[in-house]
Amino acid sequence: MSDRLHPRPAAATDPAISRRKLLEFFSASPILASGAVGALATLLESGASGALAQSYDVLRQAPVMNGDLIAAPAQALNVFDFEMVAKKELPPAHYGYLASGVDGDETLKANRDGFEHIRIRARRLIDVRKIDTSVKIFGETWASPIALAPVSSQGAFHPDAELAVARAARVKGHPMILSTVGSSAIEDVIKERGAPVWFMLYPTDDWAVTEALVKRAEKAGAPAIVLTVDRQGGRNTETLFRERRTDTRTCTDCHTPGFKNEVSRKPMFDGIDVDRVTNLYGTGMTWDYVRRLRGIVKGKLVLKGIVTKEDAKTALDHGVDALIVSNHGGRAEESLQSTIGVLPEVVAAVNGRVPVLIDGGFRRGTDVLKALALGATAVCVGRPYVWGLAAFGQPGVEAVLNILQREFETIMRQAGATKIAEITAASVDRA
């Protein structure tokens, strides 16, 4: 993001000046001896951020900020710091789309509140200097259990859209799932990611379109098709509608009414006849639809949106290869059920036969550990990385992923876990 949008004092933008002012402050302090100041100078000049974080936490993030909003990704203390910048940068309707839950947003809030009922048990006197955060899913080793969830229409948040996200995922080593109605084609996303991505399928109500989408994704190299099953009942996105009221732009300048016109802007539908399609979500889907889809998917089939043990068991009966516990980030229904709250019953129903992933409200590394301790194989984050995208593009996404990974590694050490397998039910207490 340009300095024109976020002007900052020259002193705050120059790390050398910041270091010098910090040293001048400590040199004048009667508390620190000159030797301590000298040692501090060596650390500051060497850029040893790891040493600073470990030994001099009070000095981390020392540069002065100009106002309440961060002006660069490096200033962020946590992922929430990106949200307000994203809100400032985005048109009200676009921010409202990203922020909205359904009805009064109570389920969206429940996703976050659910983590407060799980406590982490800290362990001591374990050598945790070296930890391994890798997990294996479908025979592929992921460097981190933190994956990027599918988020639609990312061109509404940044011109580089999913391509910037894919590049960030490549740099930081995180897996990615692409939405059917993303702003970028899967072939381009895989190229920028430098590795295959999963494809989240909105099935539509025309089987021919479903088949075409699956074939294209698999031809591009997607190892898994992720069928979203939580959007069939419709939804009342009040927060979006409220924000849209304050948007003075003319929406029809970009959006033409009608399904065909809307999907014509989505590259995954290029070359596909959508004349008979009336909606994305396949409102007549039943378990027979899953069986039929299983018959054409050559790779792995994943169901996203499972939140009960009954549906988890039925999914296994239909040959599903993995589940994602999800309520669409609080955007599917106003059930007041948090995904972290229902995770244990889904895990118990699956009983280790397939991987169980989860999304919904993940904002901290501690959230990730709690989900893994309750049996999740991996977690998916959505809004936080889009906040980073909207605020600063690819560097913002990278910073969000870096913060989440750093927090996760920190709490792993506090829990005495040196690898993912050591994060177990014994790592947490449920209030």
Positions marked catalytic = 328
Q: What SS3 class is residue 197?
A: coil
Closest CA to 315 of 276, 354, 343, 362: 354
Residue 71 per-residue DSSP state: S
- Residue 395 CA to residue 164 CA, distance in Å, equals 9
**DSSP-derived secondary structure for 103-149:** TTSHHHHHHHHGGGGEEE----S---SS-B--EEETTEEES-SEEEP
Closest CA to 269 of 172, 196, 182: 182
Could you tell me the two tokens for 275? 């004349």
Exposed, middle or buried by CB within 10 Å (0-12, 13-18, 19+), for 29? exposed
CB 418 within 8 A of CB 429: no
- Residue 330 CA to residue 4 CA, distance in Å, equals 36
Residue 150 per-residue DSSP state: P
Strand intervals (E) in 293-389: 300-304, 322-325, 356-359, 378-381
Going by C-beta distance under 8 Å and a sequence separation of 6 or more, which residues neighbour residue 255? 261, 262
